[in-house]
């Protein structure tokens, strides 16, 4: 069989339908001409509205089309369906016993097509999906040549149409299967791939959403993420993984896509993923702060400290007035600096401001501590920023100044300085072990019950809470006030515990010696006097300390608060001695402490 040559016409949309050049056995010219005349108008309409020929006697074989048009042709013919041309009377063939095509055959065989051009029958599925004809006689009857022996149609099992269909494994049934698969849009390979991709995308989105929500919650609560042992067999895999497991236990869809049920290359639970999501969240927070600032001027507050890994970290906080006229403080960034030199800090601050689209020329205030690298007049951070922006006035943190003033004042008075050392020693002796702390709490509970029975303590919701002795901090003077309060509140329980330790021979001699020394310190009039006096003084200064640390404080209110504190301290010095002395005597009598003769010179 001679192979057909592909011409340039194959690459252009046909203007008229192209007929298949095949050899027809003894066609009937008269019948063909009549059929052509009757269907001329229909044929013209098909030519105008379709890109492919509908008439099976005229259309080009699928294998003869360019490769990029074959799938398009199959989809077109499937969408249009078999070409089942209906006539009141079909033309007779030229056999000795003339027969004609019957329209009721369309109902019996849904795949059947009829060509009025050739007066022959064809099979649409075989035309679309059968292999290229191999030249064997009869292999192309229902695809290329067409069937016209109508006599062999109604012969029972020997029916030509039934023999063409064959058994379940026949070529015709294979073509019908391909036909139905392509007709069913859900069975298309591209649709199946798209559906599978959408399912994978939905699972990945749900898995990533679970990770993000877990990270947001842990970040909001300030909880650590990682665990010491995050293996599958671990009983506690860390806060992050345990949070994901908790969410999965309440949602079946989440459970199917997270942790062990997730693809190994897309679990979204690694430390790198956690850090990346945290950086995105941090960037969104910074963007929100930037939008809140708008075009307003702002002040910067900076402090640096060394973290647990011995790295210097610099915290940057912005203070500004928002659109509603309210003073706001917003934490902007935490930056690692290689050293605490003023120039290094200044460059880091400029880099952070630039990353957030903030101009250093808009700074109207600087707030740092009193270290030399911060407040240096020539080479300090204050001076370097002032060189860039002359309106960035420097203010030494007033709360920090108050802390420094109180520490300096206490060290100038030796009795007060010794008192805090003795108080810290007493608290360490009593709270050194859980056993002693439990004994302290039990003794305090007994005293509270006894005082409530005697009517010396008021009862009510939130009153008389159990607490332990508070250790004073080295850097925050306000913690000394809480330490003094706890020692005053638990004075009797502390003395009782120290006496028990001093007389308990089951403990080491070193512990008994420490307890005896602490007991001699605490049950003296001088210790009680300074305890109650410092409690009154620090009650006044602590109010000022807390006020100066408020976000809404401004310079006028700060100065006014300092003036009020000075006035209260002056009143305590001038008029508060007699009430203080009476309170000290009453306290000593309650706890059986000797009171010296104050009138003796």
Report the 3 state secondary structure along 304-322.
EEECCCCCEEEEEEEEEEC
The CATH class of the 296-396 domain is: alpha beta
Rounded-to-integer distance, Cα 483 and Cα 477, Å:
10
7 has a pLDDT exceeding 60: no
Contact 119, 31 (CB under 8 A): yes
Mean pLDDT of the chain: 81
Per DSSP, helices labelled H in 360-413 are 372-375, 381-388, 398-412
- Residue appearing with tokens 């329980």: 493
Q: What is the mean pLDDT of residues 143-156?
A: 84
What pLDDT, on a 0 to 100 scale, did the predictor assign at position 44? Answer: 42
From the number of C-beta atoms within 10 Å of its C-beta (0-12, 13-18, 19+), residue 6 rates as exposed
| The length of the chain, given as a count of residues | 601
| Local confidence band at 457 (pLDDT 50, 70, 90 cut-offs) | low
Residue among 263, 264, 246 nearest 255 (CA): 246
Q: Residue 331's Cα: distance from chain center in Å?
A: 20
What percentage of the chain exceeds 90 in pLDDT? Answer: 14
**pLDDT over 60 at 40, yes or no:** no
pLDDT digits (tens, 9 = 90+) for 507-542: 888 888 888 888 888 888 888 898 899 889 888 888
Q: What is the DSSP code (8-state) at residue 22?
A: -
Q: What is the C-alpha to C-alpha distance for residues 601 and 483, in angstroms, rounded to an integer?
A: 34
pLDDT digits (tens, 9 = 90+) for 365-415: 888 887 778 877 778 888 888 888 888 888 887 777 787 788 778 778 888
Quick one: pLDDT band at residue 21, thresholds 50, 70, 90? very low
**Looking up tokens 């003084």, which residue turns up?**
537
User: What CA–CA distance (Å, rounded) separates 225 from 272?
Assistant: 12
Give how far Cα 598 sits from Cα of 201, 585, 590, 595, 601, Å.
Answer: 85, 11, 19, 8, 8
Q: Which helix (H) or strand (E) covers residue 431, if one does?
A: none
Contact 473, 415 (CB under 8 A): no
Give the helix/strand (H/E) hosting 330.
Answer: strand 327-336
Q: What is the pLDDT of residue 219?
A: 92
Q: What are phi and psi of 53, to 5 degrees?
A: -70, 130
Mean pLDDT of 542-551: 84
Closest listed residue to residue 464, CA positions, set 441, 497, 480: 441
CA–CA distance, 596 with 601 (Å, rounded to integer)? 11
Q: Give tens-digit pLDDT for 245-304.
A: 999 999 899 999 898 888 888 888 888 999 999 999 999 999 999 999 988 899 998 888
| pLDDT number for residue 558 | 84
Structure tokens at 423: 């108080």
Phi, psi of 102 (to 5 degrees): -115, 130
What's this model's pTM, rounded to 2 decimal places? Answer: 0.57
In the chain, what are the domain boundaries? 8-187, 192-269, 296-396, 404-456+467-590
The helix (run of H) or strand (run of E) holding residue 131 is none
How is residue 12 annotated by DSSP? S
The predicted model gives 341-359 an average pLDDT of 90
> CA 186 → CA 103, 191, 202, distances in Å?
33, 6, 19
In whole angstroms, what is the distance from residue 423 CA to residue 531 CA?
Answer: 9
Q: What is the pLDDT of residue 284?
A: 92
- Terminal-residue alpha carbon distance, the chain: 141
Residue-level pLDDT at 14: 54
Categorize the per-residue pLDDT at 455 as very low, low, confident or very high, splitting at 50, 70 and 90.
low
Q: What is the pLDDT of residue 215?
A: 93
Do 116 and 56 form a contact (C-beta atoms < 8 A)? no
Q: 223 near 241, Cβ under 8 Å? A: no
Grouping H, G, I as helix, E, B as strand and the rest as coil, residue 123 is: strand
Is the model's pLDDT at 36 over the cut of 60? Answer: no
Structure tokens at 232: 């599958």
- Residue pair 428/421 in contact by the 8 Å Cβ criterion: no
Report helix, strand or coil for 368: strand
Reported as a pLDDT band with limits 50, 70 and 90, residue 37 is very low
pLDDT in tens, 73-95: 888 888 888 999 888 888 888 77
Token couple for 130? 């059968």
Looking up tokens 């501590």 gives 369
According to the model, what pLDDT value does residue 498 have? 87
């Amino acid at each position: 069989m001679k192979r057909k040559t592909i011409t340039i016409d194959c690459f252009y949309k046909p203007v008229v339908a192209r007929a298949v050049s095949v050899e027809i056995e003894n066609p009937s010219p008269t019948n063909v001409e009549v059929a052509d005349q009757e269907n001329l108008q229909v044929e013209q309409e098909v030519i105008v509205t379709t890109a492919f020929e509908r008439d099976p006697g005229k259309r080009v074989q699928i294998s003869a089309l360019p490769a990029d048009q074959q799938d398009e042709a199959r989809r077109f013919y499937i969408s249009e369906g078999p070409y089942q041309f209906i006539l009141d009377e079909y033309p007779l063939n030229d056999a000795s016993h003339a027969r004609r095509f019957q329209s009721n055959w369309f109902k019996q065989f849904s795949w059947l097509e009829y060509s009025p051009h050739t007066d022959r029958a064809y099979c649409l599925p075989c035309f679309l999906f059968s292999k290229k004809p191999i030249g064997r006689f009869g292999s192309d009857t229902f695809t290329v040549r067409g069937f016209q022996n109508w006599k062999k149609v109604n012969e029972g099992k020997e029916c030509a149409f039934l023999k063409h269909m064959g058994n379940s494994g026949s070529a015709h049934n294979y073509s019908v299967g391909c036909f139905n698969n392509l007709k069913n849009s859900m069975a298309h390979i591209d649709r199946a791939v798209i559906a599978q991709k959408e399912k994978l995308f939905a699972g990945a989105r749900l898995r990533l959403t679970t990770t993000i929500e877990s990270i947001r919650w842990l970040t909001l609560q300030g909880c650590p993420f990682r665990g010491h042992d995050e293996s599958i067999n671990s009983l506690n895999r860390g806060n992050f993984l345990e949070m994901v497991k908790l969410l999965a236990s309440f949602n079946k869809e989440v459970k199917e896509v997270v942790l062990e049920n997730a693809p190994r290359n897309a679990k979204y639970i690694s430390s790198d993923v956690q850090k990346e999501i945290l950086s995105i969240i941090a960037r969104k927070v910074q963007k929100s702060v930037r939008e809140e600032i708008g075009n307003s001027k702002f002040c910067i507050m900076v402090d640096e400290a060394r973290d647990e890994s011995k790295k210097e970290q610099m915290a940057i906080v912005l203070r500004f007035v928002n659109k509603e006229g309210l003073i706001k403080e917003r934490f902007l960034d935490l930056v690692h600096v290689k050293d605490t030199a003023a120039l290094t800090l200044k460059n880091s601050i400029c880099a952070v401001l630039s990353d957030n689209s903030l101009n250093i020329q808009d700074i109207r205030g600087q707030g740092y501590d009193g270290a030399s690298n911060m407040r240096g007049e020539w080479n300090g951070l204050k001076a370097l920023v002032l060189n860039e922006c002359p309106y960035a006035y420097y203010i030494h943190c007033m709360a920090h100044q108050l802390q420094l003033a109180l520490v300096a004042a206490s060290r100038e008075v030796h009795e007060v300085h010794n008192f805090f050392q003795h108080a810290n020693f007493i608290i360490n002796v009593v709270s050194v072990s859980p056993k002693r702390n439990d004994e302290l709490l039990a003794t305090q509970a007994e005293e509270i019950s006894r005082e409530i029975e005697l009517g010396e303590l008021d009862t009510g919701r939130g009153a008389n809470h159990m607490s332990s002795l508070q250790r004073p901090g080295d850097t925050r003077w306000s913690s000394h006030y809480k330490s003094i309060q706890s020692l005053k509140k638990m004075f009797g329980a502390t003395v009782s515990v120290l006496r028990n330790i001093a007389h308990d021979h089951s403990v080491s001699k070193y512990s008994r010696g420490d307890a005896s020394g602490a007991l001699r310190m605490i049950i003296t009039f001088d210790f009680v006097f300074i305890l109650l006096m410092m409690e009154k003084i620090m009650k006044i200064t602590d109010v000022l300390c807390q006020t100066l640390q408020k976000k809404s404080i401004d310079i006028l209110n700060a100065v006014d608060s300092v003036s009020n504190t000075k006035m209260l301290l002056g009143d305590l010095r001038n008029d508060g001695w007699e009430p203080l002395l009476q309170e000290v005597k009453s306290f000593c009598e309650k706890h059986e402490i000797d009171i010296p003769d104050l009138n003796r010179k």
